[in-house]
Structure 1
Amino acid sequence: MKVLNLSEKLRQFDPAKPESDTNNTLPDKVQLKEMVRRAGDMAEKMKQQFKHGKSRGKTTRLPELDPHFTWKQGFLYAITGYPQNGKSEMTNFLALLKAKFDGWKVLMYSPESSPIDELYDQLAHTLVGQSTDPKFKNQMSMRDYETAIDFLHHHFYVIDDDLLEDHNILPTPYNLRQIAMDLHADSKFELLIKDPWNTLVHDLSIRDDKYLQDELRQEKRIATKLQIHNVILVHPRGGIEKGKDGSLPVPTDDHIANGAMWRNKCDVIASVHRPNYHLDRTDRAALFASHKIKKQPLVGIPGEIHMLFNPRENRYYINGRCPLVTPGEQPPTLYQELSQFPASTFETESTKPIDAPF
């Protein structure tokens, strides 16, 4: 019986994984001393920054969140959260805010939200604030649906898992980076989202921490090279201890598998959490917390804000406000009794929360 060599199989699709270690190989005819820069070489850039200030993180369009989390070009972001706690919804919500108010374009790989038309319907639901499903009374009009489709067509790109398979392309981190670079050369985008990390095909022949170190270094590299915002959604590890009341703690970088490596390589680590989920699955309270932020004076200080998820609109509200609500046209439904809300549709994962007793 022939045994599949996974490493060999992966190398067919991921040339970044060579047969031998080439980390110490230097190119021919390169003056190594030219790899060094002195202050005078950077003088013009430094003086410009001295006069006008360094580049700061860009607003999320959520004033309450900006002190703790902003978007900075060239940064690598990790967002964590337990299954069914809304980290995908929150990330998509933040992406839509930047697309609508700042014209950002977004590239996504989100196989757990497949098929792709359903992912676009989720985005349309959030954008318009009404469902795309005819079984609900709050279905949007066809005119609004067509407007949403046109908006999403111009602002969102989604890597199709089925097309990858049809062309024998494995969704390795390297291959997705290559797709991102190819698209960016033709159609500039500002935000790259991989949701979640564990759905990618990884090289299991390399020790976890070493593999993660190498891959996250390359994820940071593509962010700086393209000057984009690179976001990776990642699950917490298993075995997290619960409180006496059955609650799970707010997940931090310490709760991610190989958390030290994520902490070392990522510029920003944040989490989305439903604090009352252990008591009531229909409870809409949510929390966004930032834990690690590089260049805090420019990007934000770690902290947390409380939100409420409104499933009728598929949107988040902070202090009773949502930027996507159009005054005079879309009255907010935030203040309706929570019992009137339909069943939660947080994320699309079939798995239950880690260590959940139910």
Structure 2
Amino acid sequence: MYDDINEELKPWVEMLQSSEVEDRLVAVKTLQHIGDEEAIMPLIQALEDENTSVQKLAIISIWELNNPIAIKPLMICLRSPDEEVRKETLSALKELIAPADLMMLLDAVQEDNFYTQLNVLILLRKIHDAHALPYVVPFFESSREELREAAITTLRYLNQVETCPPALALMNDRAPKVRREATLTLGHLKDESVVELLCQALTQDPDWQVRGRAAQSLALHQDTSSISSLGKALTDEHWQVRKFAARTLQIVADESVIPALIKCLTDEYSDIRRDAAIALGNIGNTDVLNALQQTLDDPDADVRIFSQRAIDKICQQPTAIN
């Protein structure tokens, strides 16, 4: 079949036809080690091997050769029933695909195969092209939560997409994983009700990761209408939600949240004490100096350092000096 192939490769290419799995594994491994571009077609043929170990090794070998000619054959492997084969294929394709492959991916994402759809949605993140949006949005209503999660995640990777009303509904998705990704994606959207939805998630969602991510996304919007919700989140039962709320209040805050931030200076977690001190320093009200002064003997060095910086920042303001 490969009569014109390099003499060094020929015995190993022939061994790929062996009935023994071990022989075929040795052949693929040797071709990988040699690393000759002429081996690409025999290795592509090995993707159809009945043994998944041979397939996986062939995928890795093709990946290392980094030849775009392998993209279409590898796309077929995304349908494999074997999880490891799909995983290796996805990793290889992440390195191989380029913007010129967009149309191929958009065709593939319409195939009636769950694994292909899921993996192509992931691959579209590398290309970042907003032309993929009409192909991504239908998956928001998929019966499979994995596809809804993948689609809403992919949305935030698409360049120049600032509004997407269908995405907002996923903030009420029944699956926490979908709501978590939707919450992060809303940080990058500018639909009219985005900040309101994020505030609702921050204070009402039963999943602490959703609440924490809502605080993170609100930091991107820097909208003063979120201050009240962020202040409430400083008393959240989960420490990471309190931390992200305090961190966002370093960017957007006013004097209404000073009492809640002062209370955070005695939180059991040092990250929250530190972030609250920074936020208070940024607000700049001299009334908080006494509370900050009491944290200068905090057992955590970072808290002491950032509390002193906050005190210095407030004292250096013209109103404080006068």
Quickly name the TM-score band, shorter chain normalised: under 0.3
User: Whose relative contact order is higher, 1 or 2, with alpha carbons under 8 Å and at least 6 apart?
Assistant: 1
Task: Flag the structure with higher helix content.
Answer: 2
Task: Flag the structure with higher strand content.
Answer: 1
- Greater radius of gyration (CA): 2
Q: TM-score, normalised by structure 2?
A: 0.24
Q: TM-score, normalised by structure 1?
A: 0.22
